[in-house]
Every structure is written in structure tokens, then in C-alpha cells.
Amino acid sequence: MAEATRILLDESRIPHNWYNIVADLPVPPPPFLNPATSRPVGPDDLASLFPAELIAQEAGAERYVPIPPGVRDVYRLWRPTPLIRARRLERALGTPARIYYKYEGGSPSGSHKPNTAVAQAYYNAREGVGRLVTETGAGQWGSALAFACAQYDLECEVWMVRASYDQKPGRRSLMRLYGATVHASPSAATASGAAVLAGDPGSPGSLGIAISEAVEAAAADPGARYALGSVLNHVLLHQTVIGEEAIEQMAAFGETPDMIVGCAGGGSNFAGLVFPFLREKLAGRMSPVIRAVEPEACPSLTRGTYAYDFGDAAGLTPLMKMHTLGHGFVPDPIHAGGLRYHGMSPLLSHLYELGMFDAVAKGQRECFAAGRRFAGTEGIVPAPEPTHALAEVISEALRCRETGEEKVLLTALCGHGHFDLSAYDGHLSGEMEDFPLPQERIDAALAALPAP
């Protein structure tokens, strides 16, 4: 298949297991803590939020978790996803590097998010939950969960950050088309939301506020549970289908990656791609450089601190040890809404501390230029989030042009940009801003970290 451009796999090749990297770590990740007691969180602490199976997965240490047939049956609608060699981009760059991308944008909602949304909806439905509650920023996660709930006849209720609710009506409509109820956040429907509105009736909201509202709404209804689209261990676990398929597809190309690059916000896309490759690397079967790319405006890995912090703005979640800019940190309004989160997945943060991957931060102008270059050659318009990874891949490919190295570069194109075209307008008109982040803003947010 040396001449191939796309490797497609038959649906029989959908992985049968998710991969849990915790089983292969030299040091286990630090536990979540109950903020009231400072003691490790147990299953009972989470029972009002998640179904038992997901709580078990969150704390699990088994290397492989079987994917239930009822989940694989829905995955078949779009999985396995293609692995594509970006031959036309390579040619345009004049690079001897070979560039591969795993494309997740062909899913029903257009991103990688349904990989975990389907699993979460499945387990909730199986345990008799009637309603799933969540938050969403720009709407990638909310629309994935709404799709998944429609597959298992679950009600779905979404708190969508007000700024996106007003500016991104397409994703709002998509959630409703799948049958979900969508609230603008902050809303008067929760105490957390009402408190924000009391102080600022015109508040544009934030992901942290929306999480607080969804957690509160789920906890208040015994028939409902909460669902999170990134950050947590079980979410990263479900995304490993990306990397497992990519390993088989790279082998079909006859290639071993020298560098694997992914964008990282909460971390689920990055982890989904790289965890299976990290297993191979730990076992000595390959030795790729592994790199996360985050936005300059929200650099939790490269400029945050590694400390216990809350996952939401109001402090309703357990404390998680993670790279964080502080739970009160509000990122500047970059277009990559999926990367605007103050923290990084605790599991990924732990791996970062162990030196298992490195990270760089990029300004959005470079990223959108990379996205435009990609669209003009490969055709697919990338969502703003994966343009961060593409910018790094292009940099590396251009370095290879200088050195003559025939490096094998692999990235995940985790979503298409057909919902994000207005963001490209700013790039095309030359009016897009970078948001360099002054150290004082980070220091101020970190000063409000909960006491250790």
C-alpha cells in the first residue's frame, strides 16, 4: 500500500477494547479529592453524577475494557474512520516528510466527541437513567451527546455558553434536531446560573459556569446523571479507538511514526490518538516524539501549574491534580472554543509530569493560516482546534525540508470546520488577533487556587 492515500478499515476492525494507559504507568495518578474532607473521592461521592460502570472505569486499572456490542453497533455508523496521507499538502510544502492524519470529522456531529458520547449514553441507558445533563461551549460536545442520547432513547439537556448560543445557532439547532433541550448559560433555571445573572444580567457565560449549572441540575434529579466530554479518565479511555485504529492503519501504510502531534484542550482528542502509541513506545516497539499543542491564550501545560484545583468555576466538582491556570481563569475569546479550558486532563497532566510527552503553545493566527493551507490542498476544512496541531505539523515538515529528513508525522484531524467558517473570515480579512497572555493574569488566577 505504499502508493495509497487513504487506508479504510472494514467495520469488523472497529476495536473490541478501549485501552487504559493507567495499567502501564510506572506511578499511578494521584486520586481526586473531596474538597470538604480532603480525602480521596470514592464511588459513593460520584453516584449522583455518573452511572456505576463509568465510575468503575474512572478508577479502573485493567489494561483493556471491552467495548460492548451495543456501543460498537452505533460506532459502525461512522467507524473505523479513515487514515489519510496528506500527499497534496506534502507537495505544496516541498517536504520530504510524510504526513498522515486520522480524520474524525466524518462522524454524525462532525468531530471525535461521539466516541465517548455513545459510550456514556449506552451505560446510562443500561443502568436505567432517563436523562443526561451536560454543558457545552461552542457545541461540539453537546451535539455529540444529543446524537448519542437519540440512539438510546435518553432525554438530553444541555447548558450552552450564552456567547456561543447567540453566535453559533447551527450547533444549537443540531442539538435540538437530535431531540435535546438547550438552555443558554447562565440561566435562571439553576442556583449557580441565577447567582451569576443577579450580578451580571448580560453575562456571556463561560464553560466553568455552564459546568456548574449542569452538575447542579443533574445532582438535583435522581433520574438524571451528568456527562462530561473531556478531562476525565473514562472519557479519554473511550477515545482510544482513534489511536488503536491508527496503529493498524499506519502498519497498513508500512509506516512507523517519528512524531505524533495532537491539539489539547481538556485532552480527550490528544489522549485518544496518543495513548495506544504510548503503549507501543513503552513496550519498545516504536519511539515517536509525542507532542501536545495548546493555544497561547490558554496554555495550561506550558504555563500552568501542577496542583489540585476544581474542574468548574463554582467549585462544585472534586479536586483534581492537574495542570491548571486556576479555575477562575477566563481565557480570551479565541475561536477554538474546545481549547478554552483552564485545566488539562489529570491523567494527561500526570503523564506530562512523567515526561511522556512534550507541549508547545501557538497563537491562533499561525493556526488559521495552517488550516487554510490544509483546506486549499487536502480539501477538508479543519475545525479551529485541530489547526493547532496542523500548525506544528507544518512547522516540522518545513524543518524537514531544510534538513532533508524523511520523517513520518501523524496527527488527528478531530473535526471539520463547516460550523466555524465565520472564524476563517477573520483570518481572510487579516483582522484575526492573537492573544498573548500576560504573566500577571496567570499569577492572579493561580493565587485563587484552593489551599493544598
Sites of contact with its own copies (CB under 8 A)? 4-6, 8-11, 76-78, 84, 88, 106-110, 114, 147, 150-151, 169-171, 173-174, 176-179, 372, 375-381, 416, 418-419, 421-422, 424-425, 428
Q: Which is nearer to its own copies, 118 or 231 (CB)?
A: 118
DSSP string, 361-375: EE-HHHHHHHHHHHH
Element (H, E) at 319: strand 319-324
**Residue 170 CB, nearest distance to its own copies (Å)?**
4
Q: Which is nearer to its own copies, 177 or 444 (CB)?
A: 177
Q: What's the min distance (Å) between Cβ of 213 and its own copies?
A: 23
Bridge-based pairing of strands 155-161 and 181-185 is parallel
Give least dist CB 245 to its own copies, A: 13
> What is the SS3 assignment for 141-195?
HHHHHHHHHHHCCCEEEEEEEHHHHHHCHHHHHHHHHCCCEEEEECCCCCHHHHH
Minimum distance of its own copies from residue 372's CB (angstroms): 6
The distance of closest approach from Cβ of residue 317 to its own copies in the complex, given in angstroms and rounded to an integer, is 30
Nearer to its own copies, 8 or 47 (CB): 8
Q: How far is CA 258 from CA 47, 133, 288, in A?
A: 42, 41, 4
| H-run or E-run covering 249 | helix 241-253
Please state the closest distance from residue 68 (CB atom) to its own copies, in A: 16
Buried b (16+ CB within 10 A) or exposed e, 90-117: bebbebebbbbbbbbbebbbbbbbbbbb
How far, in Å, are 76, 119, 367, 422, 423 from residue 429 at the CA level?
40, 41, 15, 11, 10
Residue closer to its own copies (CB basis): 365 or 372 = 372
In the bound state with its own copies, the residue whose beta carbon lies nearer, of 148 and 274, is: 148
Compare residues 38 and 173 and give the one whose CB is closer to its own copies: 173
Residue 141 C-beta: closest distance to its own copies, Å: 16
**How many beta carbons lie within 10 A of that of residue 376, not counting itself?**
12
Residue number, 11 or 406, with CB nearest to its own copies: 11
Instruction: Please name which of 305, 306, 236, 315 lies closest in space to residue 276, comparing C-alpha atoms.
Output: 236
3-state class (DSSP) for residue 290: strand
What single letter denotes the amino acid at residue 245?
A: E
Residue closer to its own copies, measured from CB, 111 or 300: 111
DSSP of 83-128, one letter per residue?
EEE-HHHHHHHT-SSEEEEEE-TTSTTSBSTHHHHHHHHHHHHHTT
Rounded to the nearest whole angstrom, what is the least distance from the CB of residue 337 to its own copies in the complex?
16
